[in-house]
């Protein structure tokens, strides 16, 4: 059964693999291009909790601006954060810069899973992915797609997250010694396109005859997930402070390095967080025009952000920058504050 699963899956992958800008075709040896591990690593970091469709334009932008890890290492964190704006989970961007600097200092990426784990921001999944895909090392790669496939093939009934130990152990038994990178990507593609969360396409699955969950008659039931907890509702206020009514500039600040949207450029606000409503004073004492509110969902909370606007003739206290309103698309505002800015620009 072990050999047949990897054989069936690799045969299927050779015909049905996704054409992705960071991949080489199935069966090809990894290219000699020293930028290849960089592209694999960059794509894997971007793909964490993010869809392929969302990642593609960001991957294209990053590899155009910073074609090598040395180029990225030479960039400032502000530049990288601005280019990352809108992709979410911004700690990934900060770790991206730290990791690039470390890799450049070492002269390149280490080629084993163990040594890759020493790099900043590389957890078990990313280290295994880069080791298998970029360097051909036998590494067990388990993401959400792989979890789903393995839980169904072996009918693992224990609910997540407790089932992850058993899922990894089973994934270990079916990972081949050769072509581990193709196998990992095949498992990802199978979970993304065939063995989907809802309405799995079992008739098209190369593992249908080996799948214990399909034989039991209800593969969609697995993996068993715990009930979702309701996200708390938070409220806050953002402030659009404008000057030069003719040329129009808005006051932007940089958020603290830690916490929600850490290190990102933003509008001033009242100190809201995922744990509490905003309660701070406005950045300046003046008359504010109410513009309405925007709503945004984070991993741990829903936020309703009221937006207020004022026109001033002097610079507010504290650190910040006057940004041309006609170049807002270049400001690198994260999605939440881009929504707020649109209210002010109507």
Catalytic positions, please? 44
Residue 221 near residue 290 (C-beta atoms within 8 A): no
Contacts of 115 (CB under 8 A, 6+ apart): none
Strands 302-311 and 233-243: parallel
Residue 38 near residue 109 (C-beta atoms within 8 A): yes
The sign of the torsion formed by the CA atoms of 143, 147, 149, 154 equals: positive
Q: Which two three-digit tokens encode residue 125?
A: 């999944």
3-state secondary structure of 162: coil
Q: What is the DSSP letter of 269?
A: B
Distance, C-alpha 197 to centroid of its chain: 19
The sign of the torsion formed by the CA atoms of 175, 176, 182, 186 equals: negative
β-partners of residue 268 are none
The rounded distance, in Å, linking the Cα atoms of 338 and 346 is 13
Q: Which two three-digit tokens encode residue 326?
A: 């006609």
Residue 173 near residue 153 (C-beta atoms within 8 A): no
Q: Which residue has the tokens 């932007």?
A: 252
Closest by Cα among 280, 272, 267 to 240: 267
- Kind and range of the H or E element at 291? strand 289-297
Residue 214 near residue 42 (C-beta atoms within 8 A): no
């Amino acid at each position: 059964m072990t050999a047949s699963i990897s054989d069936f899956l690799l045969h299927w992958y050779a015909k049905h693999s996704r054409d992705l800008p960071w991949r080489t075709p199935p069966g090809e040896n990894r290219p000699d291009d020293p930028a290849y591990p960089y592209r694999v690593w960059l794509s894997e970091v971007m793909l964490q909790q993010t869809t392929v469709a969302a990642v593609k334009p960001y991957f294209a932008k990053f590899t155009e601006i910073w074609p090598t890890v040395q180029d990225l290492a030479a960039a400032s964190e502000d530049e990288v954060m601005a280019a990352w704006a809108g992709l979410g989970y911004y700690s990934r961007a900060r770790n991206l810069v730290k990791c690039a600097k470390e890799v450049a200092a070492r002269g390149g990426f280490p080629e084993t899973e163990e040594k890759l784990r020493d790099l900043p921001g590389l957890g078990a999944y990313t280290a295994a992915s880069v080791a298998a895909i970029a360097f051909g090392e036998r590494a067990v790669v388990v993401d959400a797609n792989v979890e789903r496939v393995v839980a169904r093939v072996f009918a693992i009934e224990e609910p997540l997250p407790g089932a992850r130990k058993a899922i990894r152990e089973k994934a270990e038994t079916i990972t081949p010694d050769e072509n581990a990178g193709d196998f990992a990507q095949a498992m990802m593609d199978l979970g993304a396109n065939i063995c989907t969360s809802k309405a799995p396409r079992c008739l098209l699955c190369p593992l249908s005859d080996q799948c214990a969950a399909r034989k039991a008659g209800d593969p969609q039931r697995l993996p068993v997930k715990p009930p979702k907890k309701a996200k708390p509702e938070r409220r806050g206020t953002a402030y659009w402070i404008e000057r030069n009514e003719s040329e129009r500039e808005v006051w932007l600040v940089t958020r603290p390095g830690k916490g929600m949207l850490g290190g990102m450029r933003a509008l001033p606000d009242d100190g809201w967080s995922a744990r509490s409503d905003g309660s701070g004073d406005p950045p300046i004492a003046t008359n504010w025009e109410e513009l309405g509110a925007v709503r945004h969902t984070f991993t741990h909370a829903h936020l309703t952000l009221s937006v207020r606007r004022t026109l001033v003739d002097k610079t507010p206290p504290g650190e910040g920058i006057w940004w041309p309103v006609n170049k807002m698309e270049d400001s690198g505002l994260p999605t939440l504050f881009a929504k707020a800015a649109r209210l002010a620009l109507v």
